[in-house]
Chain A
Amino acid sequence: MERSANSAQETDEAGNKIMPTKVIGRKFLGHRRYSDRIFSSLTVFFAFVIVAILLGMIVALNFDALPAIRKFGIEFIVGTVWNAVTEQFGALPAIYGTLLSSAIGLLIAIPISLGAAIFLVELAPNWIRGPGSFLIEMLAAIPSVIIGLWGLFVLVPFVRNPIEGWLGDNLGFIPLFQGPPFGLGFLAAGIILAIMVVPIITAVSRDVMRAVPNSQREAMLALGATRWEMIRRAVLPYCRSGLVGAVILGLGRALGETMAVTMVIGNKYALTPSLFSPGATIASKIAGEFGEAAGDVFVASLVELALVLFAVTLLINVIARLLVWRMTSVKAAQE
């Protein structure tokens, strides 16, 4: 978009406006040649394959979830029992587990990511900036099953003792920190999710902060502000909505994360305030049971779980995209 907008304003040496290629193509060649028409329709076709996949997903998930939607209705969302024998399926503990583990993940990830983004944009000398960003982005490239493996054998024992032991001894009066320290559970899942969303939130907030015009920084510094005051009063307020977008993007990733969470959350269908308790998320429930599910209603219930997850992440991604787009396209227009 920016590109074609730019090229429309370009002029040649004589000062004549250069027309964008698209127009030239359409005018002189585009639709006179059959081969062009065929190629052009082919690109249209494949572009719409993408749209079709998305629409197909919506239709297929709704269709396959129909037996469960018919049978349970709204009960599905608020029900707390998941019993394949009596064919009773309620999603609340899975939804609760998803929200709780994501909340823990974001709580840990937000300060780290924002701090890292501030460091990378405002503080780091040039020679650190590139490699620093790259290393944090590498974290996003590690396959989730490997983070799960590491979580299972390294993080979980560490969470059991000292983390949960210490929290239980010192803050045990809060319901969040009561119960036996299993290691496997919401807390471990939350920490794993934090590790997985830090690179995303950092990368997006870095881009958004970079989009803040330097004039804002200079104006603040000219008033005698310290560097932190400049960041706090000029940079962060200017790109607030973009930062919110970055966090929401991270949330979308956390909600849908499957393998690593499945491996460390313990997979117990529980509705409890204790962070130490094993639990389940929507994604872990599907991953654990879909392959072996028998019976229409059972399968349909798992598909309905997928549908809930799909709907929520869809909504979250749309919001986040709009926030981040608005932010970064402002800069693109200014340049």
Chain B
Amino acid sequence: MMVQSIYFRRKWINRLMLGLSGIAAGIGIAMLALILGYTLVQGISFLNLDLITQAAKPAGEIGGGMRNEIFGTLILIGLASVLAIPIGLMAGIFLSDFGSPRIASAVRFAADILAGVPSIVVGVFAYALVVRPMHSYSAFSGGVALAIIMVPIVARTAEESLRLVPNSMREAALALGITRWRAVLGVVVPGALTGVVTGIMLAVARVAGETAPLLFTAFGNYFGFQGLSNSIGALPLQIYNYALSPYSDQNQQAWAGAFLLIILVLGISILVRWLSRRKRV
């Protein structure tokens, strides 16, 4: 009797706890569904062609769009990529192929720590580094801030994928008598290209939605692109401003902008997923 009741209890505790863990996983996925579903449904209902073809109108006027901000986000991403990809890729090559283990692990540690720095702090740093010396908010400073966020992601993912290239390929290349740098750029990097590109896309997806580091670097600008040394608008910045706006027309544009941003960011993430899965098979 006694033995049976203990057994009974253990069995039910087991079921209860396992059930709870399933529910927890369900809650996690439900959060995604709630946010994603609501944003997509809201966004698509306010989406129209004006959003991508029109510039913003002054607050209170109905209509207008986010053309300049969309363009600004693309410029900022481009700028950040131009700055971050060479640094990240070369650092990744250093970590996988050139660094001595001790120095490499120090650099790796620095990269991981840098990746954990809150993006608002990166913004304050970019302000001190670029905005103050230049005496102006600028597209360039926004690009620098985003690049600082991208660099550790690109470096670490590049390193990981370069390491997956078999050593026999390096040896074969060297055996042909070519220099090490040509072996790396001509054989190792192309062999790891999918992984390297995946890392870059991951970094782009991350910074495309960043707002905090742009608040006081790119700053926002209703008049479109006016050169790299002038302030520039960005889609996430505009979503933030319009979300807090008292005008419901701007709130609606915030949802539509969020729709575009989420398609961009999740589109890249899903593409990354697809690429890296194909690589593994």
Q: What residues of chain A have their CB less than 8 Å away from a CB belonging to chain B?
A: 1, 3-4, 7, 18, 20-22, 24-25, 28-30, 33, 35-36, 38-40, 42-51, 53-54, 56-57, 60-61, 63-64, 111-116, 118-120, 122-124, 132, 134-136, 138-139, 141-150, 152-154, 195, 198-199, 202, 226-229, 231-232, 249, 252-253, 255-259, 263, 283, 286-287, 290-291, 302-303, 306, 309-310, 313-314, 317-318, 321
How long is the Cα–Cα vector from A42 to B101 in the complex, in angstroms?
Answer: 18
Q: Which positions 61-78 of chain B face chain A at CB distance < 8 Å? A: none
Partner of A116, one of B25, B38, B205: B25
Chain B residue with the shortest CB-CB distance to A146: B258
Q: What residues of chain B have their CB less than 8 Å away from a CB belonging to chain A?
A: 10-11, 13-14, 17-18, 20-25, 27-29, 31-32, 34-36, 38-39, 86-87, 90-91, 93-95, 97-99, 101, 104-107, 109-114, 116-125, 127-129, 148, 151-152, 155, 163-164, 167, 170-171, 174, 179-181, 184, 205-206, 208-212, 215-216, 219, 236, 239-240, 243-244, 251, 254-255, 258, 261-262, 265-266, 269, 273
Chain B hits for A287, CB < 8 A:
120, 212, 215
Chain B hits for A314, CB < 8 A:
113, 116-117
Chain A residue with the shortest CB-CB distance to B160: A3
Chain A residue with the shortest CB-CB distance to B95: A47
3 smallest A-B Cβ distances: which pairs? A143-B209, A256-B118, A115-B24
Chain A hits for B20, CB < 8 A:
115
CB <8 Å contact, B94 and A43 = yes
CB <8 Å contact, A149 and B109 = no
How long is the Cα–Cα vector from A137 to B245 in the complex, in angstroms?
Answer: 31
If A24-B171, A60-B128, A143-B211 touch, does A119 touch B118 (CB 8 Å cutoff)? Answer: no
CB <8 Å contact, B240 and A263 = yes
Taking the closest CB of chain A, its distance from the CB of B230, in whole angstroms, is 16
How long is the Cα–Cα vector from A271 to B265 in the complex, in angstroms?
Answer: 37
Chain A hits for B152, CB < 8 A:
50
Chain B hits for A51, CB < 8 A:
106-107, 110
Interface of A is mostly: helix
Chain B residue with the shortest CB-CB distance to A46: B90
Chain A residue with the shortest CB-CB distance to B242: A149
CB <8 Å contact, A47 and B167 = no
Interface centre among B14, B91, B121, B239 (most CB of A within 10 A): B121
How long is the Cα–Cα vector from A228 to B21 in the complex, in angstroms?
Answer: 10
Partner of A50, one of B110, B123, B273: B110
CB <8 Å contact, A21 and B174 = yes
CB <8 Å contact, A48 and B21 = no
How long is the Cα–Cα vector from A239 to B187 in the complex, in angstroms?
Answer: 39
Taking the closest CB of chain B, its distance from the CB of A159, in whole angstroms, is 14
CB <8 Å contact, A35 and B181 = yes
Chain B residue with the shortest CB-CB distance to A6: B167
CB <8 Å contact, B21 and A115 = yes
A–B complex contacts, Cβ < 8 Å, 18 sampled: A21-B97, A21-B167, A25-B170, A40-B181, A47-B94, A47-B99, A47-B107, A50-B91, A112-B28, A135-B32, A143-B210, A146-B258, A146-B261, A198-B28, A198-B31, A226-B10, A227-B14, A317-B113
CB <8 Å contact, A145 and B94 = no
Chain A hits for B110, CB < 8 A:
50-51, 54
Taking the closest CB of chain B, its distance from the CB of A37, in whole angstroms, is 9
How long is the Cα–Cα vector from A283 to B211 in the complex, in angstroms?
Answer: 12
Chain B hits for A18, CB < 8 A:
167
If A132-B29, A228-B13 touch, does A150 touch B38 (CB 8 Å cutoff)? Answer: yes
How long is the Cα–Cα vector from A153 to B243 in the complex, in angstroms?
Answer: 9
Taking the closest CB of chain B, its distance from the CB of A25, in whole angstroms, is 5
Chain A hits for B243, CB < 8 A:
145, 148-149, 152-153, 263
Partner of A258, one of B24, B101, B119, B170: B119
If A44-B94, A291-B219 touch, does A3 touch B163 (CB 8 Å cutoff)? Answer: yes
Chain B hits for A124, CB < 8 A:
25
Chain A hits for B155, CB < 8 A:
47, 50
Partner of B118, one of A21, A25, A258, A318: A258
Partner of B90, one of A42, A118, A263, A317: A42
Taking the closest CB of chain A, its distance from the CB of B43, in whole angstroms, is 9
How long is the Cα–Cα vector from A48 to B122 in the complex, in angstroms?
Answer: 18
